[in-house]
A and B are shown apart, each in its own frame.
Chain A
Amino acid sequence: MSGPDDSGRRGQPAGRGESSGGGGPGGRARPGSDGFSAIGRPMRKVDGLDKATGRARYTDDIRLPGMLHGKILRSPHPHARIVAIDTSPAERMKGVHAVVTGRDMPVTYGIIPWTPDEYPLCLDRVRYIGDGVAAVAAVDEDTATAALEHIKVAYEELPAYLTPHEAIAASVGPYIHEPRKEGQNGNITKVVKLAFGDVEDGLEGADIVVEGDYFFQGTTHTPIEPHCAIGMADGAGKVTVWSATQVPHYLHRELARVLGLDPAKVRVIQPPVGGAFGGKSEPFDLEFCVAKLAMKTGRPVKILYTREEVFYSHRGRHPFHMRYRTGVRRDGRLTAVDAQIVMDGGAYASFGLVTTYYSGQLLTAPYKMPAYRFHSTRAYTNKPACGPKRGHGSVQPRFAFEVQLDRIAEALSIDPIELRRRNFIGSGTRTVNDFRVTSNGFLECLDAVERSSDWKAKFGNLPFGRGVGVAGSTYISGTNYPIYPNDMPQSGIQLQVDRSGRVSVFSGASEIGQGADSMVAYIVVEELGVPLDHVRVFAGDTDFTPVDLGAYSSRVTFMLGNACIQAARRIKRQVQEAVARVWRVKPGEVLLAGGLALRAGDTGVCMPIREAFNLAEAKFGTLGATGSYNTPKDIHGEYRGATIGSSPAYSFTAHVAEVEVDPETGFVEVKKIWIAHDCGRALNPVLVEGQMEGSAYMGFAEALMEEQIFKTADQGRAGLHNAPSLLDYRIPTSLDTPALESLIIESVDPEGPYGAKEAGEGPLHPSIPAIANAIYDAVGVRMDALPFSPPRVWRALQRVNGSGACPGRAPQPRFEKMPAAPWREAHGGRVGPGRGEGRNGA
């Protein structure tokens, strides 16, 4: 395991280190002291220069001959029946080629096969302001936009549910969705109750029990590229859709199913995607509409969402109302954790079934929990649907839980980092909910942030207004099962070798900026010894690339990486064998590196890699190989839900945040975040750091700035997005973003590609609780609701100072807590003695 001392060196930017030449175009990687020639080096990205020159062609950059432009008419009501739609005035307009409505595609879909509750366009009911009702294809965008005004829709308004509590409390319809069984509440997507170990006993035996309510405000992804799709029908039954999607394979399946087409006649092409973060990981209305409009008109049709529509399409972070009870012994060891969560799901299920499980299942590391129970309920509301955002379902509980730990540390007078060490779950173990944990570098993460942040000198010792906070977390390296049940590989790849020495990689994975295409190129360089600029990656086209399930759940490096190693080694063996025969040595003595085949022990004996490939082709025929990866199936328990949240490997992260709080205004400035992340092995440290920094930034943004809020009836327009623009929905600029320091920890996972695990989502989690805990260290107020905006922090300070209200204004509730019933109030005080303690008379 490489220690944190190593991370300083890894922190050097590419281009100035020893390997910048090696990684550069045409550069030749040579084996380093770790035995790798390419892996672990700061190499260029295969698409880096395309992106730096404007050559990269995103979906909206594609223009096809005769292409029409589409627009979608959206509901002005949060909840209403569609009584009638008259499209004829629009259809009569000059320049309008076709109009489609829900009747043209009356088939439900949903990313989770068990909860298909959406139509491509609403059939008889709209469920949020922004729900798609009809779509137009016209000669240009202006005409299409104008035509929307001429589609007449008669609505009958229905009562709207804007909070999950209202939705859950409902006992008569109309519900947001029809109940699956008569008598059920159709406003509930999913309820999950799971218990492991004896929670009551654990709380009973605790020396103290800390109890807290928390609220996590919803946030959205806001990739800079709005969603865009182009449909084309060839007139012979084949339909092609270009889309800015993270999941071309699932889109392929759903397009075929909903449009009633043979999947063999549907092609999905995924151009480079301009940011996604989970916001493009399921089918959207525009993809069905461009396909249907293209089928109807015989012309290619493009739809580009406006920025406003990106906010309506949403699928971002669920607002969570959470209550935690955490029992600990006097020495700081956890005895039991009890969680109750109500989730605001918005109008459709999306990934909600999984989110409901994740809300509890992903909390069980990096700390050992002897007993754990969670009860999570996802409610529908008449707002844009929530879904997976970076750190799906686990960022919210992690915030609450890590603040709980900070309160415990304070109550027991244990240093918060030490408290976390004492509860370390270890490596090669199982969690309380029976997930297998392989490698685990969490202790090294804690050591790294403690040292780099100068924690010991700072914690509790900085002047009033300044503070530091720590938090830890874990995340999955891919989900163990595909979204639809099947036994086929989760990831596949195909390699092809040319006589010139060029290697082509056909990859089904989705490049969304994270470096998926580069990652497989580095593996080919490592295994086959070719220079990086001899590798071409062709990706994201269902006609030509093997299936990969998509860029979600941090699965790509782990799964596609392993698939690529398998394929590359199949070719490597052939090349070694062919060269070995000529040199009269054993195949294992033939090395492939730096553009050469070399003889081990006497590297003076060598030949250009191209010649080695030619020898292999002469011996074995055309050179090519496939590789695939599927997950092991014995790494989780047998209970219902045991598969959801299980992963072949888990990453671990620790952050320390340092903040300055202005007690006059409540303004919080995050000075710096130290990010230590155990990614197993950094295949390219520059790209890993980029993921760590981008994650910490996004967590910081949610902690301090972002809020997906909707107007209430009192504000004039119930359910209307308050601010669907990048000016009003505030994402951090360069001036807002704190200094970020990445500390890579490498635990070398036994099953990861070269030991690698995920890096793209895990490092988001601790930012938020670390900042909350730092605010407490700075000014002594516990932030239990996001975002930690000046009004919230100021009010919290006022409460501590005994006032609690703005001058001249009524005190505002901090956030809507979960109703007391049906949950038992076992412990009165927010920090109180456990029952065990009372019994002992302490």
Chain B
Amino acid sequence: MEVVRLRVNGDERVCGVPAHYTLLETLRYGLGLTGSKQGCDKGDCGACTVILDDRAVLACITPVLEAEGRKVRTVEGLANGTELHPIQDEFDLNGAAQCGFCTPGILCSSVVLLERNSSPSREEIRAALAGNLCRCTGYAKIYDAVEAAATRMRR
């Protein structure tokens, strides 16, 4: 067992986990933050994507000890209190989440993109989401949602 300290969604969290645990296992099993999903457990699908110090990372292949002391944001931490992040609202309005299983990871990748680029082109959105597999939508509605969120955030 290792005691790890994580800064998750603004909270300081202390958690005892087996040393081989990944960040995803720690979030889901240790901290009860089940928003981040496990789709493949080997870094292929992107459903586990979280934001580690402003970068989108695959939590299922990130050893938890690597995240120690660093800033972690998950889908549960994207809203500002009761105020949704615009990308969350636009996902709903645009029908960008069907089964919703890839959604938490895609939201995290999108937020990182929007924090770096306030008016991404469709090509830039496609490139930013290339590590997140979605099996339901054909991605079209997801692009619409990211573009709409960017427009809203620029206002």
Q: Which A residues fall within an 8 A CB radius of B?
A: 13-16, 20, 24, 42, 44-45, 47-58, 60-61, 63, 142, 221-226, 272-277, 304, 306-307, 512-515, 686-687, 689-690, 693-698, 725-727, 731, 733-735, 737, 739-740
B38 to chain A, nearest CB (A): 7
Residue in A closest to B107 when the chains form the complex, CB atoms: A52
Q: Is there contact, CB below 8 Å, between B100 and A49?
A: no
Q: Is there contact, CB below 8 Å, between B103 and A307?
A: no
- When A20-B93, A726-B45, A735-B130 are in contact, do A51 and B137 touch as well, CB less than 8 Å? no
B-side interface mostly: loop
Residue in B closest to A736 when the chains form the complex, CB atoms: B130
Q: Is there contact, CB below 8 Å, between B47 and A224?
A: yes
- When A52-B89, A53-B75 are in contact, do A734 and B135 touch as well, CB less than 8 Å? no
State A143–B92 Cα separation when bound (angstroms).
40
Cβ–Cβ < 8 Å partners of B137 in chain A: 690, 693-694, 697
Q: Is there contact, CB below 8 Å, between A735 and B99?
A: no
A524 to chain B, nearest CB (A): 19
State A277–B107 Cα separation when bound (angstroms).
23
Most B CB atoms within 10 A — which of A15, A58, A272, A740?
Answer: A15
In the assembled complex, B1 has its CB within 8 A of some CB on chain A: no
In the assembled complex, B34 has its CB within 8 A of some CB on chain A: yes
Residue in B closest to A514 when the chains form the complex, CB atoms: B98
B76 to chain A, nearest CB (A): 5
The total number of A-B Cβ pairs within 8 Å is 192
B106 to chain A, nearest CB (A): 9
Residue in A closest to B77 when the chains form the complex, CB atoms: A54
Q: Is there contact, CB below 8 Å, between B92 and A513?
A: no
How extensive is the interface on chain B, given as a class?
35 or more
Cβ–Cβ < 8 Å partners of B40 in chain A: 307, 725-726
A427 to chain B, nearest CB (A): 29
Q: Is there contact, CB below 8 Å, between B99 and A696?
A: no
Out of B93, B104, B107, which one reaches A44, CB within 8 Å?
B93
Most B CB atoms within 10 A — which of A50, A61, A224?
Answer: A224
Q: Is there contact, CB below 8 Å, between B84 and A15?
A: no
Q: Is there contact, CB below 8 Å, between B99 and A693?
A: no
Q: Is there contact, CB below 8 Å, between B140 and A740?
A: yes
Cβ–Cβ < 8 Å partners of A42 in chain B: 93, 95
A392 to chain B, nearest CB (A): 17
Q: Is there contact, CB below 8 Å, between B138 and A274?
A: no
State A224–B94 Cα separation when bound (angstroms).
20
20 CB < 8 A contacts A-B:
A48-B97, A49-B88, A51-B91, A52-B92, A52-B103, A53-B35, A54-B36, A60-B34, A222-B135, A224-B99, A274-B39, A275-B99, A276-B99, A307-B39, A307-B40, A307-B45, A513-B136, A686-B94, A698-B138, A734-B143
Q: Is there contact, CB below 8 Å, between A733 and B130?
A: yes
Q: Is there contact, CB below 8 Å, between B136 and A734?
A: no
Q: Is there contact, CB below 8 Å, between A687 and B95?
A: yes
- When A13-B93, A14-B93, A687-B95 are in contact, do A223 and B141 touch as well, CB less than 8 Å? no
Cβ–Cβ < 8 Å partners of A514 in chain B: 98
Cβ–Cβ < 8 Å partners of B68 in chain A: none
A725 to chain B, nearest CB (A): 6
Cβ–Cβ < 8 Å partners of A13 in chain B: 93-95, 141, 144, 148
B142 to chain A, nearest CB (A): 8
- When A725-B40, A726-B40 are in contact, do A224 and B102 touch as well, CB less than 8 Å? yes
Residue in B closest to A304 when the chains form the complex, CB atoms: B38
Most A CB atoms within 10 A — which of B94, B133, B143?
Answer: B94
- When A15-B94, A16-B148, A61-B34 are in contact, do A686 and B141 touch as well, CB less than 8 Å? yes
State A54–B49 Cα separation when bound (angstroms).
12
- When A15-B94, A725-B42, A740-B140 are in contact, do A734 and B101 touch as well, CB less than 8 Å? no
A314 to chain B, nearest CB (A): 15
